[in-house]
Structure 1
Amino acid sequence: MPELADAVLPLIRTRGDLYRWSAANAHGRDMHEAIDILESHLATADAADAYAVTHKALASSLKVIARADDSSGIIGDACRRLLDLHPRLAAAASVPPAKLVKWMFAFQLDGDVDYFELDPVAYAPALGERGLKAYRERLEEVRTSIPAKSLDDWRDPHSHERWVLEWNDRRLAVLDRDVEAIIRTHARDRRVAAWLEQTAEALAEIGEIDLAIDWAKQATDFDLGHQSVQAARYWCKLLGEHRPTELIEARRYVFDRWPNGETAANLYSAVGADWPSIEPDIMSKLATNPSGAVSFALHTLHDPQRAWDLAHELDVESDRLWMSVADAYERIDWVATLPVHRRLIEAELQDADARRYRSAAVRLAHLRKLANGTEHAAGVDEFIADLRLVHKRRPRLKQEFDRVRLP
Structure 2
Amino acid sequence: MSVAESSSARASWLQSLDAEDLRGPIEDAAARFPTVGDWLDLHRASSTGDPAELLATVNRTLTPHRRFYDYRQANEYADDGLDTVDLLAGNALQATPALIPVIERAITLATRAILKSDDSSGAQGGLVRTLLDAHATATRTATPPLTQSEQTRLVAWIVKYRYGGTQDFFDPDIVAYAPGLSQKSIEKYRQAIADTDLGRYGSYPLTRLAVLDQDRDAIITANGGEPHNAMVAARIVSDLDEAGLRQDAIAYAHTGIAMDARGWDAKLVTFLVDDALTRGDTRQAVTLRRDWFERFPTSRSFTMLRDTAPSSQKPSTATDADPPASTPSPELASPPDADPHSTERHSPRPGCPGCRGIDPRRTQPAQSTRIMTRPGLPRRTRWARRQQ
Q: TM-score range by the shorter chain?
A: 0.5 to 0.7
CA distance in 1, matches of 2:281, 2:294: 19
Any residues of structure 2 matched to 1:188-227 within 5 Å, and which?
Answer: 188-225=225-262
Q: 1:318 to 1:34 in 2, by over 3 A?
A: farther
Provide, for residues 32-69 of structure 1, a one-character-per-residue CA deviation record: whole Å limited to 9, x for no partner.
3322122333456x512321221111111111111111
Residue 196 of structure 1, CA deviation: 0.6
Matched residue SS, 1:41:
helix
User: Residue 216 of structure 1 contacts residue 232 of structure 1 at CA under 8 Å; is this kept in 2?
Assistant: yes
| Pairing partner for 1:56 from 97, 101, 105 | 105
CA distance in 1, matches of 2:217, 2:239: 11
Q: Secondary structure at the match of 1:207?
A: coil
Cα distance in 2 for partners of 1:357, 1:257 equals 42
**1:216 touches 1:231 (CA, 8 Å); kept in 2?**
yes
Structure-1 separation of matches of 2:369 and 2:139 = 55
Determine the structure 1 residue equivalent to 2:65: 15
User: 1:290 Cα shift?
Assistant: 0.9
Alignment of 1:204-353 (within 5 A): 204-225=241-262, 228-242=265-279, 244-245=281-282, 246-272=284-310, 276-280=327-331, 283-285=334-336, 287-291=337-341, 315-317=358-360, 322-323=364-365, 344=366
The equivalent residue for 1:2 is: 52
Distance 1:217 1:319, change over 3 A: farther
Match of 1:94 among 137, 146, 165: 146
Distance in 2 between the 1:101 and 1:40 partners?
23
Q: CA deviation at 1:194?
A: 1.7
Paired residue total: 297
Shift of 1:354: 10
CA contact (8 A) 1:62 1:112 kept: no
1:357 Cα deviation from its structure 2 partner: 8.9
Matched, 1:34 2:84: yes
User: What is the CA–CA distance in structure 2 between the aligned matches of 1:170 and 1:104, rounded to whole Å?
Assistant: 16
1:11/1:236 CA distance change after superposition, 3 Å: farther
Check whether the contact 2:100–2:135 (CA below 8 A) recurs between aligned residues: yes
User: Given that residues 255 and 263 in structure 1 are in contact (C-alpha distance below 8 angstroms), is that contact kept between their aligned partners in structure 2?
Assistant: yes
* 2:266 aligned counterpart, secondary structure: helix
Work out the CA distance in 2 between the residues paired with 1:119 and 1:227. 29
> Equivalent residue for 1:74?
123
Q: SS at the partner of 2:172?
A: coil
What is the distance in 1 between the residues matched to 2:241 and 2:296?
25
Paired residue for 2:177, among 113, 117, 123?
123
The amino acid that maps onto 1:51 is: I
What TM-score do you get using the length of structure 2 for normalisation? 0.66
Change (3 A) 1:10 1:266: farther
Q: Which whole-Å CA distance do the structure 2 matches of 1:169 and 1:253 have between them?
A: 35
In structure 2, how many angstroms separate the alpha carbons of the residues matched to 1:318 and 1:17? 49
Q: Which has the higher contact order (CA 8 A, sep 6+)?
A: 2
Match of 2:189 among 131, 135, 141: 135
Structure 1, 187-196 or 73-82: larger mean CA deviation? 187-196
What is the TM-score of this pair, normalised by structure 1? 0.63
* Structure 1 position 88, deviation (Å): 2.5
Could you tell me which residue of structure 1 aligns to residue 167 of structure 2?
Answer: 113
| Counterpart amino acid of residue 331 in structure 2 | P
| 1:174-204 Cα shifts (integer Å, max 9, x gaps) | 1111122222322524223221111111111
- 1:242 and 1:280 map into 2 onto residues whose CA distance is 26
Hey, what's the Cα distance between the residues in 2 that align with 1:250 and 1:262? 15
Distance in 2 separating the partners of 1:117 and 1:40 = 22
Gaps of 5+ in 2: 1-50, 314-325, 344-353, 377-388
Gaps of 5+ in 1: 143-157, 294-310, 324-343, 359-407
- Write the distance in 2 (CA, Å) between the matches of 1:139 and 1:204: 24
Indicate the SS of the match to 1:134: helix
Paired-residue identity, %: 23
Aligned equivalents of 2:155 and 2:191: distance in 1? 10
Partners of 1:236 and 1:32 in 2: CA distance: 39
Q: Report the AA paired with residue 94 of structure 1.
A: L
Q: Offset of 1:8 from its aligned partner?
A: 4.1
- CA 115–24 in structure 1, closer or farther in 2 if over 3 Å, else same: same
Shift of 1:171: 1.4
Distance of 1:238 and 1:69 partners within structure 2: 42
